[in-house]
Amino acid sequence: MGWWIVILGGVALYFLSKYKFEKVPADAVKVESRSSGRVYYVSPKEQSCSCPDWHKRRSNVPKDDPRRLCKHLISYYIGQDQLPESLSLFKGGLDWFYEKFRGFPPSAEIERFDVGKGEVAFFKDYEAGHWHSVCFNGKRYGWERASDTWTNDTCPEVRNMMIRHQLGVPDDLAEDAIRHVSAERDGKPLDWVIIGQIEGEEIKAKISLRKNAVWHTVLFNGKEISFYLKAGHSKGGGFSDEQYTHMNPPVSKWIGAECKRLRAGIDNK
Ligand SMILES: [Zn+2]
């Protein structure tokens, strides 16, 4: 029901929800909807609201989970600068929903973990394809996961750690951490798949020995770790500095060495 009966009988206020009367919590605050002008009551302490959205989709979500927050709760917490400490990780995301006058996506899957420099959380936005919101240190960043593109080219300082964590890629590896396992042709004569091992896990790369080859795909345990290279710039047939992987430098060193080895093999024939 989108309407209210408020009975000013004695001390307590009641509202009508799903055909039953509910007591308005003692700390209830009146929030006027910025879109419809309707008035709802939010309880900052209970993290509850009298609106239909909260009753229908959010009342069973535990406290301190941002999915419990309808647009009115966000409106109160952000507008009044009263966000509970337990939700501070999501501050940037909640600012964003505040501007759009939306509640937190109620069915979003939230991933959150500690990256050493603090906690990071990310979740899929509304109707936004592959776009995610990434929250870190009070800010929100827009992230297109499949291509690792960031809104306004701005990413959190913990981006690499976050992606490594997500892909299960080991951190802080020595340059020579990858052990050669095998190499095989990948169709065309100059295209190869090389296979290596890191701490017992498989790493696989599709590489090309052609001059000016610009990209390679690298998989770690079957998962693609986005990887672009510009070949043909630097000395010794290696790679330029414009390398990008979630495991540099061991990956670039490994691919450089394998390319050299394969080229030498081809030249000797
Ligand atoms: Zn509400």
- Note whether 131 and 68 are same-domain residues: no
Instruction: Please give the C-alpha separations between residue 223 and each of 146, 153, 161, 167, 253, in angstroms, as whole numbers.
Output: 12, 24, 16, 7, 20
The reported pLDDT for the residue numbered 19 is 46
Q: How far is the CA of 54 from the centre of ligand 1 (A)?
A: 5
Task: Among 39-53, 96-110, 220-234, name the one with the lowest average pLDDT.
Answer: 220-234
Does any domain span residue 97? yes
- Note whether 21 and 76 are same-domain residues: yes
- Note whether 87 and 141 are same-domain residues: no
- Note whether 23 and 39 are same-domain residues: yes
The reported pLDDT for the residue numbered 33 is 86
Does any domain span residue 173? no
Higher pLDDT among residues 145 and 16, named by residue: 145
Would you call the peptide bond into 189 cis, given omega within 30 degrees of 0 as the criterion? Answer: no
Answer with the one of 103, 118, 136 that is the final residue of a domain: 103
Q: Which amino acid is at 238?
A: G
The reported pLDDT for the residue numbered 66 is 97
- Note whether 113 and 211 are same-domain residues: no
Q: Is the pTM of this model over 0.75?
A: no
Higher pLDDT among residues 256 and 134, named by residue: 134
The reported pLDDT for the residue numbered 5 is 45
Q: How far is the CA of 120 from the centre of ligand 1 (A)?
A: 26
- Note whether 81 and 35 are same-domain residues: yes
Q: How far is the CA of 199 from the centre of ligand 1 (A)?
A: 50
Q: What is the DSSP string of 84-151?
A: -GGGGGGHHHHHHHHHHT----TT--EEEEE-SSSEEEEEEPTT-TTEEEEEETTEEEEEETTTTEEG
Q: What is the mean pLDDT of the chain?
A: 82
Q: Residue 114 belongs to what domain range?
A: 108-167
Answer with the one of 103, 126, 141 that is the final residue of a domain: 103
- Note whether 258 and 186 are same-domain residues: yes
- Note whether 23 and 52 are same-domain residues: yes
Q: How much is the CA Rg of the chain, to the nearest whole Å?
A: 26
Q: How far is the CA of 138 from the centre of ligand 1 (A)?
A: 23
- Note whether 96 and 20 are same-domain residues: yes
The reported pLDDT for the residue numbered 10 is 41
Q: What is the pLDDT of residues 210-256, one digit of tens each?
A: 876 655 788 888 888 765 555 444 444 444 433 456 777 888 889 88
Does any domain span residue 83? yes
The reported pLDDT for the residue numbered 267 is 66
Q: How far is the CA of 128 from the centre of ligand 1 (A)?
A: 23
- Note whether 97 and 136 are same-domain residues: no
Q: What share of the chain in percent tops pLDDT 90?
A: 45
The reported pLDDT for the residue numbered 21 is 61
Answer with the one of 145, 167, 189 that is the final residue of a domain: 167
Q: How far is the CA of 57 from the centre of ligand 1 (A)?
A: 10
Does any domain span residue 172? no
Does any domain span residue 59? yes
The reported pLDDT for the residue numbered 1 is 41
Q: What is the pLDDT of residues 51-95, one digit of tens each?
A: 999 999 999 999 999 999 999 999 999 999 999 999 999 999 999
Does any domain span residue 8? yes
Does any domain span residue 60? yes
Total structural domains within the chain: 3
Pick from 16, 40, 11: which is nearest to 28 by CA? 40
- Note whether 137 and 224 are same-domain residues: no
Q: What is the pLDDT of residues 188-201, one digit of tens each?
A: 888 999 999 998 89
Q: How far is the CA of 93 from the centre of ligand 1 (A)?
A: 17
- Note whether 99 and 119 are same-domain residues: no
Q: Which secondary-structure segment (H or E) carries 219?
A: strand 217-220
Does any domain span residue 174? no
